[in-house]
Amino acid sequence: MHRHLVSLRDVTDAELEYLVRRGAWYASEQAAAHRPLTGMVVGGFFTKTSTRTRTAFASAALRLGAAHIPYGPADLQLATGESMDDTARVLARMLDALVVRTAADPSEVRALAAQQRMAVINAMTADEHPTQAIADLTTLMRHFGQVEGLRILYVGEGNNTAAALALGLSRFHDVELCLATPPGYGVAKDVLDLAVEQATAHGSRITQCHDLDEAPDRAQVVYTTRWQTTGTSKPDPEWRRIFQPFRVDEAFMRRHPDAVFMHDLPAHRGEDVTAAVIDGSSSIAFDQAENKLHSAKAVLEWCLLGRQD
């Protein structure tokens, strides 16, 4: 019986910490020859565009010894009307794991995960991007040596990346996360409420504001994302004007002189962030992208084999 990773809500504190530490271990030289998935087959079903997540999981599967089968949005008989349940029952008899990206709600991923023969991994749904959060936490672990005690400022839309980041950071002790989001574009109330509840239980603090003047100074991490979240559009024709004050530029970073800069990519230079910031010395955005590979290895191993340490 394999494990699924559909939401961080389904993972215990100990399991999340293990995945983060295991991701950091996979970045080490001693992990280079580790191939625990030899003989297994991992599928990747992506209905939306992806550079980092798709490549990370495909590369991780191959580097861990598994074979990999990619599926595009029109490759499966789902495109001709076959049910998600039937698709899951068939794939589960042929694959060991399926990595899934869809812009829909998580019901599609949960339908695929209704069986127990094949591990199902959520590579992004409309509400949450759990593997991004695991990569982000792995990045923090590798850069700072720990996640506990960090002060993090997230700037931009309260999208699936922000939701996962809040759900992930809230499971660690003594963390301060401020979500500075444009008015009308905050983190969903149910997600924010859960994150605040979890943070309180761990001696941490999560807040949300819609005015950057209310955001704290001297954060250790400034994190932003692209303004137009993958697979979505904004009905308000004035949305760019609303987002304009939330651009991360050199003046913004001067409020946080010791902070590193993170971005889940793709970045739109001149829009969500300036080139001077993302390409500057404080940026660890491309280390963060590389850590998607290391954390993908940890996720695949954990879903297919359980703990290996």
Q: Is residue 192 part of a domain?
A: yes
Task: Please check whether residues 114 and 167 belong to one and the same domain.
Answer: no
How many structural domains compose the chain?
Answer: 2
Residue 229: DSSP 8-state: -
Question: Are residues 101 and 177 located together in one domain of the fold?
Answer: no
205 and 282 housed in the same domain: yes
pLDDT of residue 81: 96
**Distant-in-sequence, close-in-space partners of 188: CB < 8 Å, separation ≥ 6:** 127, 158, 163
Residues 147 and 274 grouped into a single domain: yes
- According to the model, what pLDDT value does residue 229 have? 79
Identity (one letter) of the amino acid at 299? V
- Tallying the residues shown for the chain, one arrives at 309
Can you tell me the distance from the alpha carbon of 227 to that of 231, in angstroms, rounded to the nearest whole number? Answer: 12
pLDDT in tens, 169-211: 999 999 999 999 999 999 999 999 999 999 999 999 999 999 9
Q: Are residues 278 and 239 in the same domain?
A: yes
160 shares a domain with 92:
no
pLDDT of residue 232: 75
Claim to verify: residue 173 and residue 277 sit in the same structural domain: yes
Same domain assignment for residues 269 and 299? no
Q: Give the model's pLDDT for residue 113.
A: 96
Residue 34 corresponds to which tokens in the numbers above? Answer: 């580790």
Instruction: Look at residue 132 and give its three-state secondary structure.
Output: helix
- Please indicate, yes or no, whether residues 44 and 117 belong to a single structural domain of this protein: yes
Q: What is the full DSSP assignment across 152-221?
A: EEEES---HHHHHHHHHHTTSTT-EEEEE--TT----HHHHHHHHHHHHHTT-EEEEES-GGGSPSS-SE
Along the 309 residues of the chain, how does pLDDT read in single tens digits? Answer: 699 999 999 999 999 999 999 999 999 999 999 999 999 999 999 999 999 999 999 999 999 999 999 999 999 999 999 999 999 999 999 999 999 999 778 899 999 999 999 999 999 999 999 999 999 999 999 999 999 999 999 999 999 999 999 999 999 999 999 999 999 999 999 999 999 999 999 999 999 999 999 999 999 999 999 998 776 788 888 999 999 999 999 999 999 999 999 999 999 999 999 999 999 999 999 999 999 999 999 999 999 999 877
For residue 260, count other CB atoms closer than 10 A to its CB.
22
pLDDT at 309: 72
Same-domain status, 194 and 277: yes
For residues 188 and 160, give the distance between their C-alpha atoms in angstroms, rounded to a whole number: 9
Q: Output the pLDDT for position 228.
A: 86
* Amino acid at the residue 204: S
Residue 91, domain extent: 8-129+291-305
**CATH code, domain carrying 222:** 3.40.50.1370
Q: Three-state DSSP class for 224?
A: strand
Distance in angstroms (rounded) separating the CA atoms of residues 149 and 159:
24
Q: Is residue 176 part of a domain?
A: yes
- 31/102 same-domain check: yes
The answer to whether position 1 is within a domain reads: no
Residue 2 lies in a domain: no
Q: Are 299 and 21 in contact (CB under 8 A)?
A: no
Contacts of 149 (CB under 8 A, 6+ apart): 173, 174, 175
Assigned domain for 143 exists: yes
180 within some domain = yes
H or E element at residue 18: helix 13-26
Q: What is the DSSP letter of 227?
A: S
In terms of domains, do 261 and 119 share one? no
String of DSSP letters for 58-120: HHHHHHTT-EEEEE-TTTSGGGGT--HHHHHHHHTTT-SEEEEE-SS-THHHHHHTTSSSSEE
